[in-house]
Amino acid sequence: MTSIQDQAGATTPSGMPDLTSSSVSGNRNRVGTILTIVSGVFVAFIIIPLLLVLWDVGGRGLPLLFNTDLYTELPPPPGLEDGGFGHAIIGSLMTLGIAAAISFPVGVLAAVYLAEFGRGTRIAYLVKFSANVLTGVPAILIGLFAYTIVVRPLGSFSAFSGGVALGVLMLPIVIRSTEEALLLVPNEMRQAATGIGATRFQTITRIIIPAAMSAIVTGLILSLARAAGEAAPLLFTAFNNSFWNTDPMRPIATLPVLIYFFSIIPYKPQQDLAWAAAVVLLIIVLTASLLARFFSRAKKF
C-alpha cells in the first residue's frame, strides 16, 4: 500500500502526516537559532558604536547648542569664557562650496562619459580604475597633494586650496555614484529616444539625466557629507584662522579642524566649543544623509 506515509515520512499516531519540525533532524533547528542569535549580535556591534557616538557627543554638546553666540561669535582668547565658532561654520561652507564647484561638474561629466559614451573602451576602464584608486588614497595624502599643487605655488594656506583638496576627495565618490545612477536608467529609454529621432546629446540631456536626477543628487549629497567631516586634507591647505575671513585666498577655519585644535588644548571653554562643533557637524552629516534618502526614494523605475 502506498499511502501518504511512504511519501511524507513520519506520521502522528492519528495517521496524519507529522508536519512539526520535530519530525526532521533536531539539530537543524538548534543551529538555525544559534546562527540567528550570532547575526543579531553582529548587528548590535554595528549599531552600538553609532548610538554611543550620538550619546557621548550629543550629551556633552547638545546643551551648549542653545547659546546663539556659538554661531555668531569668534572663539575666546585662551583663559577667557564664552564665544563661538561662527567663522568655522562660514569656513566649512566656503571650502565645501569650492569643493562642490570643482567636483560636481567634473565628476558628473566624467560619469556621463563613462556611462554613455565610453562603455567598454580602454579610456573608460582607465578612468574607472583611477577613480577606484583615488577612493583608497588616505585623506592626508590628498591634503599633501593640494599643498604641493596649490598652496606652494600661491604661497599661502587658503580656503581655495582646502576646497581643491576636498574636491579631489569627493571626485571619485561623485563619479561612481553618478555613473551608477546613469546605468540604472533602463536601456529601453535610450532606444526609445533614439527611435524617435533624438540625437545622442538630446537623449542624454533630456531623458537620461532627468531620469537619473534623484539618484545623482543623492550621490552628490553623500559626497558632500563625506567631505564635511574631513580634517586631514584641510590641515595643509585651509589650515586654520582665529578670525573672521571670507577671502578664499587666505587661511580659513573649518569645523573639523577647529574640533581638532580645540580638543587638544587644555582650556575648558575651548574644549566645550569643540564638543558643540562636533554636534553641529554630526547634525549636518546626519541631515545630509536623511536628505539623500529622501531624494533616493523618489524612484522612477
Partner 1 sequence: MQTQVDNQTQTETKRVFKLDNVNVYYGPHLALRDVNMDIMEHEVTSFIGPSGCGKSTLLRCFNRLNDLITGARVEGNVTYHGANLYGEKVDPVVVRRKIGMVFQKPNPFPKSIYENIAFGVRVNGMKVNMDEVVEQSLRGAALWDEVKDKLKDSGLSLSGGQQQRLCIARAIAVQPEVILMDEPCSALDPISTLRIEELIKELKQKYTIVIVTHNMQQASRVADVTAFFNAEAVEKGRRVGYLVEYGPTEMIFNTPREQYTLDYVSGRFG
Please report, as ranges, the residues that interact with partner 1 according to CB under 8 A: 120, 186, 188-199, 202, 206-207, 210-211, 300-301
Cross-strand pairs, 17? 11
CA–CA dist 281, 291 (Å, integer): 15
Nearer to partner 1, 193 or 279 (CB): 193
Nearer to partner 1, 117 or 244 (CB): 117
What minimum distance in Å lies between the beta carbon of 257 and partner 1?
43
Nearer to partner 1, 5 or 205 (CB): 205
What minimum distance in Å lies between the beta carbon of 1 and partner 1?
43
Q: Please state the φ and ψ torsions of residue 17, each to the nearest 5 degrees.
A: -65, 140
As a dihedral over the C-alpha atoms of residue 15, residue 19, residue 20, residue 25, rounded to 10 degrees, the angle is 100
What minimum distance in Å lies between the beta carbon of 129 and partner 1?
21
Beta-carbon contacts of residue 251 (< 8 Å; ≥ 6 apart): 156, 157, 158, 159, 238, 239, 240, 241, 245
What minimum distance in Å lies between the beta carbon of 132 and partner 1?
24
What minimum distance in Å lies between the beta carbon of 178 and partner 1?
18
CB 86 within 8 A of CB 242: no
What minimum distance in Å lies between the beta carbon of 200 and partner 1?
9
The alpha carbon of 52 is separated from its chain's Cα centroid by a whole number of angstroms, namely: 20
Nearer to partner 1, 204 or 235 (CB): 204
Q: State the cell numbers at 191.
A: 532606444
What minimum distance in Å lies between the beta carbon of 202 and partner 1?
5
Residue carrying the nine cell digits 597633494: 145
Helix residue ranges, H only, the chain: 4-8, 26-61, 69-72, 86-112, 122-136, 139-146, 152-154, 159-183, 187-195, 200-202, 209-228, 232-235, 255-263, 268-297
Nearer to partner 1, 100 or 215 (CB): 215
Q: One-letter amino acid identity for 195?
A: G
Nearer to partner 1, 168 or 208 (CB): 208
Nearer to partner 1, 79 or 120 (CB): 120
